A and B are shown apart, each in its own frame.
Chain A
Amino acid sequence: MRRTSLAAAALVLTAAAACAPRMQPVRPIQANGAIVPSTQDETIARAHTEGRAERERAAAEQDQTVAAALRACSGATCDALARGQLSLGMTREQVLAATRTGGAAWEERGAGFVTTLTARDDGRGPRDAVAEVAYVTLENGRVRSYAYREPQGVRLVASAADATPAAQARARAEALRREGDDFALAGDFQRALDRYDRADVIQPNDPETTLRIARALDKQLRPYEALIRYRLFLHQLEIEKIRAYGDAYANMAGAIAEARSRIIVLERNGR
């Protein structure tokens, strides 16, 4: 009887052991209780040394660039340098000084007399006092044009007039109008109107924006607001001036005719 019980118990134990997951012995990598000093301080000290060396090198390069930039500057270029802003006619050193960058920030490509400086890091490129710089084109070592990367796209500055705040506003409004046109094309007049409104804030009294707002309101079946905008558009165009200038405004003739006809229709419907 006792033998039978023992055999049964042994059988149960063997079966239980057979059911347990099989695996190679566990290999510890650290013994419990062992003293393993932290490596943080060593890593930090090494990073500190490397960081200081890099900062000193960058500062020395920056000093050299600024000195060279100031030696060669005059008048408006000097003013732009002091503001930290790019301007046409600057040299390569002046571009680096104005953007407070080193050569490592730019990728230089050139053929003949023309060289293009492009931001090496797409995500976080160099910037001047105005905005992030997308690229700078140099002709015979002087800046011929440069472009800013702005929320509405790339804005090119190729003449002194393009660099003024008014030109900046015009370019931004133009970009917003383009964006609005894309929404209008997709049938989303609400978003299109939002972009046109923003363009109107940046560059007020622009007939092109007003006409687009009028059209978007008209398509949204908001006749009273559309009527006001159509009238405003005609007013902004200063019809008399258009007549006087004749062909100069010929390209707007279609838009004027459209605005007038819509005014008639909307007025009749409103009665």
Chain B
Amino acid sequence: MNPIARASRRAAAALVAILALGGCATQVTRVSPDQQIDLSGRWNDVDSRQVADAIIRQSFESQFGSAWATQFMQSNGGRRPTVIVGTVRNRSMEHIPVTTFVRDLERAYLSSGQVQVVASAEERDEVRAERVDQQENAAAETRARLGRERGAQYMLQGDISSIEDREGGRRVVYYQVDMTLVDLESNAKTWTGQHRIKKFVERPRFRL
């Protein structure tokens, strides 16, 4: 084999190696949290955010019959209602992390200044343990007092259900998120919010 042919073969091999290595490198692109990127069609951040947007809008806009907080303030000399976030049950077959939109909802309630939110059953255990610890270890004038917890008037509960229809490479998935505010004394449902999402997912028949 002549030297030119040998050199060009080596160059070609090096090029192939570089291309192969370049193809294997992980590529990360930072994108805006507002950008909607759907890959698999399963529940994702876009769905969570859409649910939070819709439920928050329904919580405060009177066209959705949600003047409960204002009505409470009117009936109670401007005092704000106190809400505790209960359980949001996932009744779908998918893994759906509900904490993201529940936290969005809590933030909205707090930031609106119309509602007070108290720590949920899970959160308050840690707080209570700390308070009990303070009775032993903190200086008397700085101790958090026992028995001063604020009782909630309403509990926010909810569930997520889904219906799926599948045929060949096509799939339709429907999610329904229902949130309800229950009066803790009377069990009366004071407010309900709902958001529905429907997706059509089509997979190519042949994939590499």
With the chains together, A224 CA to B74 CA distance in Å?
57
Task: Note all chain B residues with C-beta closer than 8 A to A104.
Answer: 74-75
> Contact at A44–B34, with CB atoms within 8 Å?
no
Chain B's interface: helix, strand, loop or mixed, by majority? Answer: mixed
Q: Would you give the shortest CB distance from B86 to chain A, in whole angstroms?
A: 18
**Are the CB atoms of B32 and A35 closer together than 8 Å?**
yes
Bound state CA distance, A100 and B75, in angstroms? Answer: 9
Knowing A21-B167, A36-B36, A48-B111 are in contact, say whether A55-B76 is a contact too (CB < 8 A): no
In the bound complex, do residue B53 and residue A35 qualify as a contact, i.e. CB atoms below 8 Å apart? no
**Is A62 among interface residues, defined by CB-CB distance under 8 A?**
yes
- B195-207 vs A, Cβ < 8 Å mask (1 yes, 0 no): 0000010000000
User: Given the complex, which residues of A lie within 8 Å of B49, measured CB to CB?
Assistant: 38
Residues 28-39 of B, flagged 1 when their CB comes within 8 A of A and 0 if not, give 000010111110
Contact A34 B112 (CB under 8 A): no
B52 to chain A, nearest CB (A): 6
Interface residues of B in 105-119 (CB under 8 A from A): 107-108, 111-114
* A180 to B6 Cα, complex, angstroms: 107
Residues of B within 8 A of A101 (CB): 75-77
Answer yes or no: A26 CB below 8 A from chain B CBs: yes
Flag whether A182 is at the interface (Cβ < 8 A): no
Task: Assess whether A269 is interfacial by the CB under 8 Å rule.
Answer: no
Establish whether residues B112 and A35, one from each chain, have CB atoms under 8 Å apart when the complex forms. Answer: no
- Is B178 interfacial (CB-CB < 8 Å)? no
Report if A39-B57 is in contact (Cβ < 8 Å); known contacts: A33-B36, A124-B185: yes
Q: Which of A30, A32, A126 interacts with B76 by CB under 8 Å?
A: A126
Chain B, 178-199, CB within 8 A of any chain A CB: 183, 185-186, 188, 190
Interface residues of chain B, those whose CB is within 8 Å of chain A, are 32, 34-38, 49, 52-53, 56-57, 59-61, 69-80, 104, 107-108, 111-114, 153, 167-168, 183, 185-186, 188, 190, 200
Please give me the 5 A-B residue pairs with the lowest Cβ-Cβ distance, nearest first.
Answer: A58-B78, A51-B114, A47-B112, A104-B74, A47-B60
Q: Apart from A38-B53, A43-B57, A123-B186, what 11 extra A-B contacts exist at CB < 8 Å?
A: A21-B167, A33-B36, A36-B36, A40-B56, A43-B60, A44-B108, A54-B73, A55-B73, A55-B80, A57-B78, A59-B78
* A contact residues vs B (CB 8 Å cutoff): 20-21, 26, 30, 32-40, 43-44, 46-48, 50-52, 54-59, 61-62, 100-102, 104-105, 120-121, 123-126
